[in-house]
Structure 1
């Protein structure tokens, strides 16, 4: 029997409270791991690590990588001044995930970026972000505020890998006030009705997809199923 592939999930690092504890923690909403397991993978949490070479060692043991959602990316990473609404960036997380992406590129590892993950993948490729999407579209639908997700209709590009996974149109859950402005090395493969870029992917054989929404929050298994299938193929090739 083929072993279930290992799928790395990057994590938040922040203050958290549970039981008798109120302390700094490395964490991730459970939906991410559940979605990976439901698709047939084994989730592995990846908290930020500063040691030189750590990303390469981790990637060598993974079959796929998910760059998870979270706080804003440091604007200095794409040579921009912070917008008044840009906040909460974590240099240690940015550095760790960028190192993971570089190692994944070198290894040809399948990658899925989710929300902030998509934004960081664009920055890693030399792109830039729009720091406050409501300034462009004139509404807050993509992030209504608090812990509420916005419901957004997305149209995918015909013939794209994404379209084969989720169909020509899909209703998604969004929670982002920033979005991708430029994305060198990626094809734009989905947009909302207001023009916001909602997904991008690389061309060629390697599975590398990023979405601005949160697929883990809905019963929509196309993306994770596609990622885990790519992870199995990567493992079968010997990495």
Structure 2
């Protein structure tokens, strides 16, 4: 049986066929395809903060990208550029904390990495152009930024990426303080791009979008870690 990877989802209005602006639970197909191509079985998880019973049938968790993590989670007030979905925050944070308690493998992508940081007691910059003076991490609507990342020698992410360190990104928020996590990758401007928890079986966050290229290095590592827990 393939390791079962739970993938968090969006809940937003969507349109298809003759239907317009229906409340919809969805996620870009790249996430599920990346998990499947790495040998896992993708299961989509709608925002649901009733309980965490689903973790009993999952071997790993993938926290996806999406709207900004609420600053309330790290003790700040929302800025003028911050757009949040509190229901998703509450549901995912409950799942994340329970998964960490069980030491389930966890991968956080973009917003997912930021959620990991918030759960670890860290903080975020709410609008990077105000801090960095440029918008290269989100250059234009629906346009990924591309740059190299500097990885910490001996870290999990460095071992996975090897010499290919060019990444794609699309985010206007970023890590200010990683909390109890360890920063193991940074952009050329110093912004954290990868975080890990070396004390756990597999907890990795990346600020970029490896699902777009179906990166088997990263998703393969998640699936392999999940197989060890299956």
Q: TM-score, normalised by structure 1?
A: 0.93
2:160 maps to 1:161: no
1:50-105 CA-to-partner distances (Å, cap 9, x unmatched) read 32xx22x1111100000100000111111111111112x11110001000111101
Distance 1:146 1:45 in 2: 26
For each residue in 1:6-42, what CA deviation from the matched residue of structure 2 results, as whole angstroms up to 9, or x when unmatched? 0000000101001122201001000000000000000
- 1:232, 1:110 → 2: CA distance? 10
- Residue 231 of structure 1 corresponds to 226
Q: Secondary structure at the match of 2:148?
A: strand
What residue in structure 2 maps to residue 63 of structure 1?
59
CA contact (8 A) 1:75 1:81 kept: yes
Please identify runs of 4+ aligned residues in structure 1 that moved more than 4 A: none
> Aligned-pair distance for 1:106?
1.3
2:171 is matched with: 176
Query: What whole-Å deviation, never above 9, does each CA across 1:174-223 have from its counterpart, x for those lacking one?
Result: 00000011122211100010001000000135100000000001252110
Query: Residue 131 of structure 1 corresponds to which residue in structure 2?
Result: 126
Does 2:140 align with 1:145? yes
Distance of 2:82 and 2:199 partners within structure 1: 34
1:145 deviates by 2.1
Q: Which residue of 2 aligns with 1:7?
A: 5
Residue 85 of structure 1 is matched in structure 2 by 81
Gaps of 5+ in 2: none
How many residues of Structure 1 are paired with residues of Structure 2 in the alignment? 229
Counterpart residue number, 1:40: 39
Q: What is residue 21 of structure 1 aligned with on the other side?
A: 19
Shift of 1:169: 5.0
1:100 to 2:95 alignment: yes
Q: Is the 8 A contact 1:129 1:178 kept in 2?
A: yes
The corresponding residue for 1:109 is: 104
Contact 2:11 2:26 in 1 (8 A): yes
In structure 1, what is the Cα distance between the partners aligned to 2:126 and 2:82? 6
Matched, 1:221 2:220: no
What is the CA–CA distance in structure 1 between the aligned matches of 2:164 and 2:2, rounded to whole Å? 30
In 1, the alpha carbon distance for the partners of 2:46 and 2:155 equals 32
CA RMSD of aligned residues (A): 1.1
The SS at the match of 1:215 is: coil
Matching residue within 184, 187, 193 for 2:188: 193
